Amino acid sequence: MSAAAARRRLSRRRAWRLAFRYLAAVALTVVFLFPIYWLFSISLKTPDEIFASPPAWYPASIQFDNFKVLFKDGDATTVWNSLFIAGTSTALAMFLGTLCAYSLARFKTGGDNLAIWIISQRMIPPIVVVFPLFLLYVWLGWVDTYHGLILLYTAFNLPYVIWMMRGYIEDIPIELEESALVDGCTRWQVLVKVVFPMARTGLFATAVFTFVFAWNDFIFALVMTRSEVTTYPVQVTHYFGGQSNFWAKIAAMSVLGAAPVFVAVAFLQRYLVRGISMGAVKG
Amino acid sequence: MSTLANDSGSRMNRFADRNFKYLVIAPAVLILLLFGIFPLVYTLLVSFQNINMMETDTSFSGLLQYRQLFSDIRLWESLGHTLLIVAIALPIELIAGLMMALLFLDRMPGRQIFVALLVLPTMIAPIVAGATWRLLFDNRFGPINQVLGWITGEPQAILWTIRPEYVYPAIFIAEVWQWTPFMFLILLAAMSNVDTSLTEAAEIDGASRLRIFFKIMLPAIWSVMTIALLIRGLDLFRIFDVIWALTQGGPGTKTETISIYAYIQGFRQFETSYTAAMAFLVIFLLTIAVMFALKRMEFVR
C-alpha cells in the first residue's frame, strides 16, 4: 500500500513539474517573441495606432498600406538588392568554398595551418578590414557596385563555408570516392557525382546560413554602398532620426527583411545547432 | 586530428592528382589573400604615414599615430565601454542560456516548437533587432514604459536611449534578448548529447539536481560551452549594429564602442592613418583571444 501511495505521490510531483515547465516555457516564449510581434504589428498599424498613447496592443484591422508605400516609393528595391547580392555571393562562396574544403578535408592541403588561417579570417572584426578595403574599393571604383559588394560578401563568407564544408565532407566515408576512382572516374566526376550528392544536406544548411549572414549584414553595406546598391538593413537606418513618422517604414522594411529569415529557419531546424556553433556541436 | 584521417589522407594521396588539389583550393585562397592579407598589410603601411582629410603625407612618420593612441582618452573609453559590454552581457547570456537549456532538457510535448520559436531573435539582422528595440523603448509610444507604468502604478516616460543611466540597460536588454537563444540552442544540444545513464545513475544514488548539474553535466558540456563563449565574446567585442540603431554611440560618447569609434574616425573624420593604427591595436588585442579560441576549436574537433 505504501509503495502504491509513494508512486502516486511521485507521479503527482511529475505532473506538477511538467505543468511548471510548460508555464515557464510559455512565459519565456511570450517574452522573447513580443518584440518580434510588436515589429510586425507596427508594420500593419495605421499612423493613428502607431502614435497612440497608451499604445494600441494590436492593429484594429489588417491593412498593408505601410508596405504599399515602400513599393510605390521604390524603397522596396533595396530588398531586391539584398536578395541579388546575398544570393549571388552565396552561390559563389558555396562553389569556391566547397572545392577548397574538399581539398582541405581529403588531401590535407596546407596542413592544419592553412585551415586555421582560413577560419581566423572569420574572427577579425569587420571594422578592421572594412576601412582599408574601402580605400581599395575607392581606388578600383568599386564602391556602390553590385560586384564590389558581392565579392566582399563572398570573401567574408568563404571561411565559414570552408570550415563547415570541411566538417561535412569529413563525415562522408572516403571509400565511396575511392571506388569511384577505381571505376575510372576523374577527380572532377568524383566531386560532382559522389561528393556533392553525399554532402547535399550539409551544402544546403551551409548555403542557407551563408545567405542569412550576407542578408543580415549592416556594416559592410553601410560603408560600401551609397545609393545604387543600398541593401535593406541600410535602408532601415535611413528612416532613423528626424521625425518619428518614419516608424511605419522602419517596421515594414524590417519585416520585409526578417520574414525571409524566418522561412529559412523553418527549413533549417535540424542543422541550426551545427550551423550557428560553427560545427562545434554536431547536434 | 586522428590517425584515421591521416591514414585515409595518405591512402587518397596514392592516386591523388596534385594539380587537382591545388586547382580547387586556389580561387578561394586567392580571394582570401586579397581580402584578408591586403587590408592588414595596407593598414600597417598607412599607420606609419600621416594621411587625413587635410593632408596626404605618405612619408614615413614613424610611431606618430601609435603615440597618439596612448593619449587618446576617447579611444580608451570606447575600449572600456566595449569590455564593459562583453563583461556584463556575456555572463548574463551564458547563465540565462544555461537555465533555459535545463528547462527544456527533459522531453516535453511540443518542445521542438518552443525551441523553433525561441531561436528567431538570433536569426534576424542585428540592425533590425536594434530598430525593433528602438520602437519598443520609445518614451511615449513604446510599450515598455507602458508596462513599467502598470507595475509601478504611475505613468513612466523614461528616455531609454537618451538618459545616461538608462542607455546601458537598454543596450544590454536588446543584446541579451537577441543572443541568449544562441547560447540556449548550443547548450541544449550539448546537454542532450550527455549520456543519460550517468545522470540517471547519480539520481538513483540520491545526488541532488544541483550536484548532478555541477559534477556531471557541466564538465560534459565544458568544451562546447567554451566555444560558444568565445564565438559570442568575439561577436560582442565587435558590437556595432545594435548600438548604432539605439544610440549611435550617444549620449555624447557614452556608449561609443571600439567599432563605432573606429567608424567615426575613419568615415566621418577621415583620419585615415590614425584609424589604421587603431585597427592594428584591435588586431593585436584580438590575436591573442583568437589564437586561444582556435586552440579550443581544434581540441574539440
Q: Give every CB contact of residue B115 below 8 A, 6+ residues apart in sequence.
A: B104, B185, B188
Best mutation target among B25, B103, B144 (most A Cβ atoms within 10 Å) is B25
* Dist CA B248 CA A76 (whole Å): 25
Q: Which of residues 51-110 of B touch A (CB under 8 A)?
A: 100, 103-104, 106, 108
Q: For residue A207, what pLDDT is reported?
A: 95
More confident residue, A118 or A88: A88
**Cβ(A169)–Cβ(A105) under 8 Å?**
yes
Q: For residue A252, what pLDDT is reported?
A: 94
Amino acid residing at A193: K
Q: Where are the domains of chain B?
A: 70-300
Residue A136 has pLDDT above 60, yes or no: yes
* Dist CA A202 CA A214 (whole Å): 18
Give the pLDDT band (50/70/90) at residue A245. low
Longest dimension (CA), chain A: 87
**Cβ(A272)–Cβ(A265) under 8 Å?**
yes
B127 contact residues in A (CB cutoff 8 A): 216, 218, 233, 236-237
- Between vectors from CA A281 to CA B188 and to CA A21, what angle results, nearest 5°? 5
Q: Do B9 and A272 touch (CB under 8 A)?
A: no
Q: Do A155 and B31 touch (CB under 8 A)?
A: yes
Best mutation target among A165, A196, A267, A273 (most B Cβ atoms within 10 Å) is A273
* Dist CA A155 CA B147 (whole Å): 45
3-state secondary structure of A93: helix
B276 touches chain A (CB under 8 A): yes
Chain-centre distance of CA A269, in angstroms?
Answer: 13
| Cα–Cα distance list, B147 to A15, A129, B139, B140, B143 (Å) | 32, 42, 12, 12, 6
B10 touches chain A (CB under 8 A): no
Return the DSSP state at B154: S
A217 contact residues in B (CB cutoff 8 A): 125
- 10-residue mean pLDDT profile of chain B (301 residues): values are 46 57 88 88 87 77 85 93 96 97 90 92 95 91 89 86 91 97 94 87 86 90 89 92 91 92 90 89 82 64 49
A120 contact residues in B (CB cutoff 8 A): 290, 294
| Cα–Cα distance list, A28 to A23, A25, A37, A58 (Å) | 9, 5, 14, 20
B133 contact residues in A (CB cutoff 8 A): 35
Residue A218 has pLDDT above 90, yes or no: yes
Q: What is the mean pLDDT of residues A208-230?
A: 93
Nearest residue on chain A to B102, judged by CA atoms? A21
Which of A188, A216, A281 is opposite residue B126, by nearest beta carbon? A216
- Where does chain A have alpha helices with state H? 2-44, 47-50, 65-73, 77-107, 111-123, 126-140, 146-170, 174-182, 187-190, 196-198, 200-216, 219-224, 232-238, 247-268, 272-276
Return phi, psi of residue A223, to 5°: -75, -40
Nearest residue on chain A to B139, judged by CA atoms? A53
Q: How many angstroms separate the CA of residue A100 from the nearest CA in chain B?
A: 4
Q: For residue A242, what pLDDT is reported?
A: 59
Q: Which fold does the domain A69-276 belong to in CATH?
A: MetI-like fold (1.10.3720)
Q: Where are the domains of chain A?
A: 2-63, 69-276
Q: How many angstroms separate the CA of residue A33 from the nearest CA in chain B?
A: 7
Nearest residue on chain A to B285, judged by CA atoms? A124
For the entire predicted model, the pTM comes to 0.90
A257 contact residues in B (CB cutoff 8 A): 124-125, 128
Return the DSSP state at A55: P
**Cβ(A117)–Cβ(A100) under 8 Å?**
no
Give the pLDDT band (50/70/90) at residue A1. low
Q: Give every CB contact of residue B98 below 8 A, 6+ residues apart in sequence.
A: B183, B187
Q: Which three cell numbers stand for residue A209?
A: 546560413
Return phi, psi of residue B110, to 5°: 85, 10
* Dist CA B242 CA B134 (whole Å): 9
Q: Do A132 and B38 touch (CB under 8 A)?
A: yes
Q: For residue B14, what pLDDT is reported?
A: 46
Pairing mode of beta strands B56-57, B50-51? antiparallel
Q: For residue B159, what pLDDT is reported?
A: 87
Q: Do A277 and B189 touch (CB under 8 A)?
A: yes
Best mutation target among B141, B221, B295 (most A Cβ atoms within 10 Å) is B141
Q: How many angstroms separate the CA of residue A142 from the nearest CA in chain B?
A: 14
Return phi, psi of residue A18, to 5°: -65, -40
Dihedral sign for Cα B204, B208, B213, B215, please.
negative
Return phi, psi of residue B182, to 5°: -60, -50
Smallest CA-to-CA distance from A278 within A197, A157, A112, A172 is with: A157
A128 contact residues in B (CB cutoff 8 A): 39, 43, 262, 279, 282-283
CATH class of segment(s) B70-300: mainly alpha
B142 contact residues in A (CB cutoff 8 A): 55
B28 touches chain A (CB under 8 A): yes
| Cα–Cα distance list, A57 to A38, A252, B181 (Å) | 8, 17, 25
Q: Which three cell numbers stand for residue A6?
A: 509513494
Which of B5, B146, B290 is opposite residue A123, by nearest beta carbon? B290
Give the pLDDT band (50/70/90) at residue A279. confident
Q: For residue B300, what pLDDT is reported?
A: 52
Give the pLDDT band (50/70/90) at residue A150. very high
Residue A13 has pLDDT above 90, yes or no: no
Q: Give every CB contact of residue A246 below 8 A, 6+ residues apart in sequence.
A: A239, A240
- Other CB atoms within a 10 A radius of the CB of residue B290 amount to 20
Give the pLDDT band (50/70/90) at residue A244. low
Q: For residue A143, what pLDDT is reported?
A: 94
B13 touches chain A (CB under 8 A): yes
Q: How many angstroms separate the CA of residue A82 from the nearest CA in chain B?
A: 12
- Other CB atoms within a 10 A radius of the CB of residue A258 amount to 24
**Cβ(B276)–Cβ(B43) under 8 Å?**
yes
